[in-house]
C-alpha cells in the first residue's frame, strides 16, 4: 500500500531532478498482472520498471538494468537481497528461464509485442514467469543482472522456513495449475490436481475447484509452446535452481 502522506515529498524530490510523478489509485486490488497493465497503459516511456511494494532499489539499480537492456533483451531482473532467488542463469550472458518482477526493467517494445501481462489468467503469481516465457517465444531474451541490487523484505523463520499465508498458498497453487495448462502440460495439470487433492488443505482444494470452474466455463487460456521450447517445469520450479 502507498502512504498518501509520502506523495508530496516524493513528488517534490523527483520534480527537482526534472522528473514527473503520477499517482494512480485503483480503488480495488487488481492483482499484479492487471495492475502492471493498467499502469503501463498510462505511460509511453521506452523502459518500464516493475517493482514490488515491499522492495527498495539501490541508487544505481535502474541504471544497471537499463544498461543490460541492449539488443534483443526484453527484460532484465535485479538481484534480490537478503534472499537471492535461486534460479539458474548463464554466468556470462545473464540468460535465464524467466525474470522475477519483484524488480525488473522491461522495454516498451517487448511489452507491446506480447500484449503485456496475461491478467485474464494470472492474478498474483506466475504472471512474470508467463510474461518472460512469451517474450522468449517472441525472440526476446530474459536475463538476470546480479550487479543490480534490490532489497526485498522477505524473512525466514529460525528454522529456515518461509511462512506463507493462506492467500499466498491459494494463488500459488492456482497459478501453478494454470501455468502448466497454458504451456501444454496436461500431464502436469493432472499431477498437480491429484497432489493438491491428496494434500487436502482448504487453499489448494479451492484452487483446484477454481481451475475446474474455469474449464467448465471456457475461461482457460489456449495452450501454447506445444514443442516446449521455453517452458521449464523442474521439481516444482520453473527453471533449474542453483541452490
Instruction: Please state the pTM of the whole predicted model.
Output: 0.94
Q: With bands split at pLDDT 50, 70 and 90, how would you rate the model's confidence at 1?
A: very low
Domain presence at residue 119: yes
Residue 21: what pLDDT?
86
Q: With bands split at pLDDT 50, 70 and 90, how would you rate the model's confidence at 11?
A: confident
Q: 103: closest CA among 55, 36, 146?
A: 55
Q: What is the rounded CA–CA span in Å between residue 173 and residue 170?
A: 5
Domain presence at residue 87: yes
Domain presence at residue 31: yes
Q: With bands split at pLDDT 50, 70 and 90, how would you rate the model's confidence at 4?
A: low
Q: With bands split at pLDDT 50, 70 and 90, how would you rate the model's confidence at 20?
A: confident
Q: 238: closest CA among 187, 160, 183, 167?
A: 183
Domain presence at residue 235: no
Residues 114-168: pLDDT tens digits?
999 999 999 999 999 999 999 999 999 999 999 999 999 877 788 877 788 999 9
Q: What is the rounded CA–CA span in Å between residue 21 and residue 7?
A: 9
Residues 204-229: pLDDT tens digits?
999 999 999 999 999 999 999 999 99
Residue 90: what pLDDT?
98
The distance in angstroms from the start CA to the end CA of the chain is 32
Domain presence at residue 181: no
Residues 46-95: pLDDT tens digits?
999 999 989 999 999 999 999 999 999 999 999 999 989 999 999 999 99
23-28 mean pLDDT? 87
High-pLDDT (> 90) share of the chain, %: 83
CATH of the domain at 107: 3.90.550.60
Domain presence at residue 25: yes
Would you say residue 6 has pLDDT above 80? Answer: no
* Residues 192 and 172 sit within 8 Å (Cβ to Cβ): no
Length of the chain in terms of residues written: 243
Domain presence at residue 120: yes
Domain presence at residue 220: no
Per the structure, the complete domain to which residue 59 belongs is given by: 4-152
Would you say residue 2 has pLDDT above 60? Answer: no
Residues 171-204: pLDDT tens digits?
999 999 999 999 999 999 999 999 999 999 999 9
Domain count, the chain: 1
Amino acid at each position: 500500500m502507498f502512504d498518501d502522506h509520502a506523495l508530496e515529498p516524493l513528488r517534490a524530490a523527483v520534480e527537482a531532478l526534472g522528473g514527473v510523478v503520477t499517482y494512480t489509485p485503483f480503488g480495488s486490488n487488481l492483482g499484479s498482472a492487471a495492475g502492471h497493465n493498467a499502469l503501463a497503459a498510462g505511460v509511453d516511456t521506452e523502459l518500464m520498471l516493475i517493482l514490488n511494494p515491499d522492495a527498495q532499489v539501490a541508487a544505481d539499480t535502474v541504471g544497471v538494468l537499463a544498461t543490460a537492456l541492449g539488443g534483443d533483451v526484453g527484460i532484465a531482473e535485479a538481484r534480490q537481497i537478503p534472499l537471492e532467488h535461486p534460479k539458474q542463469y548463464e554466468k556470462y550472458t545473464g540468460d535465464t528461464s524467466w525474470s522475477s518482477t519483484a524488480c525488473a526493467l522491461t522495454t516498451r517494445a517487448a511489452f507491446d509485442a506480447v500484449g503485456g501481462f496475461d491478467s485474464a489468467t494470472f492474478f498474483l503469481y506466475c504472471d512474470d514467469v508467463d510474461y518472460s516465457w512469451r517474450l522468449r517465444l517472441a525472440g526476446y531474451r530474459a536475463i538476470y543482472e546480479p550487479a543490480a541490487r534490490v532489497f526485498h523484505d522477505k524473512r525466514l523463520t529460525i528454522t529456515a522456513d518461509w511462512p506463507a499465508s493462506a492467500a499466498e498458498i491459494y494463488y500459488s497453487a492456482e497459478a501453478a495449475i494454470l501455468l502448466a495448462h497454458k504451456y501444454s502440460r496436461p500431464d502436469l495439470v493432472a499431477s498437480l490436481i491429484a497432489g493438491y487433492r491428496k494434500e487436502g488443505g482448504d487453499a489448494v482444494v479451492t484452487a483446484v475447484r477454481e481451475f475446474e470452474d474455469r474449464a467448465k466455463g471456457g475461461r482457460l487460456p489456449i495452450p501454447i509452446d506445444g514443442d516446449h521450447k521455453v517452458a521449464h517445469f523442474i521439481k516444482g520450479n520453473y527453471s533449474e535452481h542453483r541452490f
